[in-house]
Amino acid sequence: MTPQQYERLTELFHAALEVACDNRTAFLDQVSNDDATLGQELKSLLAAHEQQAPHIKPPEDIAAAYLAQPGSPTGPPLLDPNTRIDRYEILSLLGKGGMGEVYLAEDLRLHRKVALKILPAAVAQDQNRMRRFEQEATAAAALNHPHIAHIYEIGECESAHFIAIEHIDGDTLRDKIHRDKAPLHKLLKYLIQVAEGLTRTHAAGIVHRDLKPDNIMVTRDDYAKILDFGLAKLIEPQTTPGPGVSAAIKVDPSGIAQHSIAGMVMGTAGYMSPEQAEGKIDQVDHRSDIFSFGCILFEAITRHKPFADESIIKSLHKVVYEQAPPIKDFDPAAPSDLQRIVGRCLAKDRDERYQTIKDVAIELHEVRLAMIGAGKVDNSVQLNRSGTLGRQTIGPTATSISSAEYIATQIKRHKKGTAIAVAALVIAAGFGLYKFTNKKPFAVAPPATRLTRLTATGKAWAGSISPDGKHVAYVVEEAGEESIWMREVATSTNVQIVPPAEASYASFSFTHDGHYLYFIKGEKDGPGSLYQMPALGGSARKIVDNVASRAALSADDKRIAFIRGGFFAKENSLIVANSDGSGEQVIATRMTPENFYFGGIAWTPDGKSITCVAGNSFRKLIEVPLDGGPDKLLQTPKWIGLADIEWLPDARGLIVIAKEQTRSAPSQIWYLSYPSGEAHRLTSDFNNYGNLSLTGDARTLIVTKQETTSHIWVAPDGDASRAKQLTTGTGRQDGFPAVNWTPDGKIIYDSTANGGRHIWIMNADGGEQRQLTDGAYDDQGAHVSQDGRSIAFISDRTGIFHVYRMDIDGTNVKQLTSGGEGGAAPLFSPDRQWVIYSVGGAKFGNFSSWKVPVDGGERIQLTNDSWASAISPDGKLVACVQYVAARALRWNIRIVPFAGGPPLKSFEVTSESRPSLRWAPDGRAIFYNLTPGGVLSGQTNLLIQPLNGGALSGVTNLWMQPLGGGPPKQVTHFASESFFAFDWSRDGKRLAYGRGATTSDMVLVTDFR
């Protein structure tokens, strides 16, 4: 039928309907006479019309069914490619599971691919659960760890709850075990990495709860990454079923979790712990993960699940009541240590398992090293991607890069190239959050080390001592220009050998004959170059481009060893060349995260190997033989910073600059005994040391010492000219990081006057200085409640810094926060009902703030992107600081409602350190301190400051921003020194602040052996 015929048919149809029934037959006949086909059509249409009085069922039922299916666990992909969810554009469906669909998506803002998990609506609907999940996922998101899939964002868009996760291109561990039949030493490598990742999350109080081979991805570069932290929280019941209610064990055999069913046990059969299998949710803790880890380890070794059975119920029964079969039944050749490790992981009783996953990691590492050493695998040398001969990393790949460290290094690279900055930066991330532990970690008693100050300008750094001990080369920075100086130790005379210039110098080394000096000169926007110059002056000659470390000279001064390639590059190399720069030879190449760390490099006393540092988080000391033999790992304590190394000539030990595993511990000088790995500190103070060098007889060494001193001052009306210093004494840090007025005009402040950092009180004239807290730990960050009754502060008495409160006289101490995150910078709400505090986060600038009831209890999040710094006098508004950019050190000051909600006001400031904030007593303005850039000496490298004020450098002044509008106003006009903390007296008439400076000088160290 043609459209024309159809049109005609339509006309006839309507005409026929208008014709009375009696006449219709005649009408039809007439049509048929004209056109038989048309007549037939019309007839049949009319019949159809009559038959049904045409009715088409509306598609409402289909629509309803359609609505019932999207988002269901088994439903088809809900989102088409190109769909936008917030700032993500869907590219394709990656997979479906109990927790909804996972899409490959592009983050349109950051232009990176992410895995976007859309939570099923039914799950997202449960607000309690979502809140708990978000808490946990937020905590997990704060962990930046190479073996944890990074959670970028948890968000909601158009009622769709989504999680943006690092997109990992690779295979699951299940595939590696069963499909690829990866060799055991490889699987162990992955599992050691998994254990490292879990170590980190467990330390933060996060338990995975659903660890299984499907939740572990192995990237194409061979890194294991754990997925889905916190997701288990969404599904598990919130309480253990009460007595008389049997825990309904419901486990999804496919690994697709069911929706919330009371008493349901979350987890995947075959990997869950007995306590999970029995539904004893309140007993689930990090040791449950250790059990699951044991199941995976068993599977990796035997390629079988330890508790497999024909049904889930039977399998769960086995988990609870039966021992796993011996692994020898499957693999007679498996190292017996593995049986022991698996057995301890799989103990039914939590208390009989390993108590920390770290222990498992260490033991597995040893087993693996033994396997490799015994020749069971041959992977000591292999071709790396670039085709050059490189060394395969052995041992547990290291853990996280502190982002602060990263930024430090970036800035260092771009700006300064100073080695001490690297030594010092280690303070960075969580000032106030982590503690100094192990102040005396080893039994060896420290000898009577003597420190003699060599310079006193506070501006000298990067020193190196000549092998005969007669000269010290160092850098002085003034007014943004650097010069190189040579000091004759005996006569204390200083000679400038390179005039001031806009340049940066670092990493000095004398040749052993003392004739030449090698150093690195920073190049703009690029790696540094190695220069050589006559030690007593003359022209410097560039001999090698692109050098990332200092150049270590061989004993005969004929060869140099150095690192090329940034620590955060994909790979970097250890290079040996002739001392004139010719004949470069790549000795070894390492891949991230096992890169060479450029902080320390030295020839072994026998001249056959290079000792250097590698590893991202925990620094490893390795010895790389020049003849191509396998790397040797030197025993060391757990150090997160290892910046400078020097061998003692008898090869029985090294002097190193190292930093312990706690973030606020400064870099100190250590003696490391070889080969036992025993170590002891030569220094134990609040200063940072760096740029170590040793004389030929190893009796004297020189270091750069960074020292921060601050005192409490009070200025009437903020007028610096009338300011009065209230505390005195060298080497003290007063009012750093906090100073506070009580309502009756006393001052509460932090002070290191008596050794550790504690909270003190004194009168407004500096009289009656009295210590309020005491103990072998640090208390700091005091804030006084508006009624003057209580002090909120932080203390590391439990191992990390948590928030506490106490009465104004130092009694009735109560801990308010718990968990692995800790807390910092507490503030009372004016009504004293809440204590607000901030969390630094593992990522640089990754702040959040919270409030907790004054008597403890559930915390509530205030902000997820900023640091709460002050609360308005009426308690309605909180002023926060948000980190904007790394390079320029820009910050947003934001005013947010205490009750929650978006910021009401936000303005940007530039400061090298994180501004502290205070409300004007009348509530109409915000005061903040700014320390602009460009004035400061490079050695203190303010990297430290943004988070915490680990150093006081530059010139700080106070500013005021009226909240009613108008331009900001500078309040103080200091020309020197810096302050981090300040507070207005309650009447708004007196400004108290902790003002000081960080100095950098050369120090000679003797009698250390």
> Binding residues for another protein, per CB under 8 A?
1-3, 6-7, 10, 13-14, 17, 43-45, 47-49, 51-52, 54-72, 74, 76, 78-80, 82-84, 121-122, 124-125, 158-160
Structure tokens at 944: 């430290």
Considering beta carbons, is residue 8 or 876 the nearer one to another protein? 8
CB of 37 to another protein, least distance (A): 12
∠ Cα 873 757 891 (to 5°): 50
Structure tokens at 141: 């998101």
Measured CA to CA, the distance from residue 279 to residue 246 in angstroms comes to 9
Q: Give the dihedral of Cα atoms 893, 897, 899, 900; nearest 10 deg.
A: -60
Question: Smallest Cα–Cα separation from 986: which of 928, 929, 919?
Answer: 919
CB of 9 to another protein, least distance (A): 8
Considering beta carbons, is residue 61 or 310 the nearer one to another protein? 61
Backbone torsions φ then ψ of 212, nearest 5 degrees: -160, 165
Considering beta carbons, is residue 74 or 582 the nearer one to another protein? 74
CB crowding 294-312: b at 16 or more within 10 Å, else e: bbbbbbbbbebbbbebeeb
Considering beta carbons, is residue 254 or 812 the nearer one to another protein? 254
Contact of 195 with 364, CB cutoff 8 Å:
yes
Contact of 866 with 849, CB cutoff 8 Å:
yes
Measured CA to CA, the distance from residue 910 to residue 41 in angstroms comes to 83
CB of 20 to another protein, least distance (A): 18
Measured CA to CA, the distance from residue 849 to residue 897 in angstroms comes to 13
Considering beta carbons, is residue 77 or 819 the nearer one to another protein? 77
Peptide bond into 675 cis (omega under 30): yes
- Which helix (H) or strand (E) segment is 947 a member of? helix 945-948
Residue type, 55: H
Considering beta carbons, is residue 59 or 326 the nearer one to another protein? 59
Q: Return the number of other C-beta atoms located less than 10 Å from residue 165's C-beta.
A: 23
Measured CA to CA, the distance from residue 399 to residue 197 in angstroms comes to 7
CB of 420 to another protein, least distance (A): 52
CB of 672 to another protein, least distance (A): 59
Considering beta carbons, is residue 122 or 261 the nearer one to another protein? 122
Residue type, 844: F
Q: Which residues on neighbouring strands pair with residue 574, listed in sequence order?
A: 563, 588
CB of 43 to another protein, least distance (A): 8
Considering beta carbons, is residue 39 or 938 the nearer one to another protein? 39
CB of 126 to another protein, least distance (A): 11
Q: Which residues on neighbouring strands pair with residue 772, listed in sequence order?
A: none
Considering beta carbons, is residue 33 or 74 the nearer one to another protein? 74
DSSP code string of 348-384: SSGGGS-S-HHHHHHHHHHHHHHHHHTTSS--SEEE-
Considering beta carbons, is residue 56 or 443 the nearer one to another protein? 56
CB of 261 to another protein, least distance (A): 15
CA distances from 968 to 482, 742, 871, 910 (A): 34, 27, 19, 13
DSSP 498: E
CB of 42 to another protein, least distance (A): 11
- Which helix (H) or strand (E) segment is 614 a member of? strand 609-614
CB of 91 to another protein, least distance (A): 15
Structure tokens at 151: 């959670």
Contact of 767 with 778, CB cutoff 8 Å:
no
Considering beta carbons, is residue 31 or 672 the nearer one to another protein? 31
CB of 49 to another protein, least distance (A): 5
Question: Smallest Cα–Cα separation from 255: which of 98, 44, 48, 123?
Answer: 98
Considering beta carbons, is residue 85 or 825 the nearer one to another protein? 85
Measured CA to CA, the distance from residue 760 to residue 982 in angstroms comes to 15
Considering beta carbons, is residue 253 or 853 the nearer one to another protein? 253
Q: Return the number of other C-beta atoms located less than 10 Å from residue 514's C-beta.
A: 17
DSSP code string of 156-212: EETTEEEEEEE---EEEHHIIIIIS---HHHHHHHHHHHHHHHHHHHHTT---S---
Which residues are CB-neighbours of 202 under 8 A, at least 6 positions away?
Answer: 286, 289, 356, 357, 820
CB of 10 to another protein, least distance (A): 5
Considering beta carbons, is residue 124 or 407 the nearer one to another protein? 124
Considering beta carbons, is residue 13 or 568 the nearer one to another protein? 13
Considering beta carbons, is residue 57 or 111 the nearer one to another protein? 57
Structure tokens at 497: 């050998």
Measured CA to CA, the distance from residue 192 to residue 70 in angstroms comes to 39
Compute the radius of gyration of the chain from its Cα atoms: 34
Peptide bond into 737 cis (omega under 30): yes
Contact of 367 with 341, CB cutoff 8 Å:
yes
CB of 85 to another protein, least distance (A): 9
CB of 3 to another protein, least distance (A): 6
CB of 828 to another protein, least distance (A): 40
CB of 134 to another protein, least distance (A): 17
For tokens 């048309």, the residue is 38
CB of 147 to another protein, least distance (A): 34
Which residues are CB-neighbours of 77 under 8 A, at least 6 positions away?
Answer: 93, 96, 101, 103
Considering beta carbons, is residue 67 or 443 the nearer one to another protein? 67
Considering beta carbons, is residue 90 or 187 the nearer one to another protein? 90
Backbone torsions φ then ψ of 386, nearest 5 degrees: -80, -5
CB of 643 to another protein, least distance (A): 53
∠ Cα 84 86 91 (to 5°): 35
Measured CA to CA, the distance from residue 1006 to residue 1009 in angstroms comes to 8
Q: Which residues on neighbouring strands pair with residue 787, listed in sequence order?
A: none
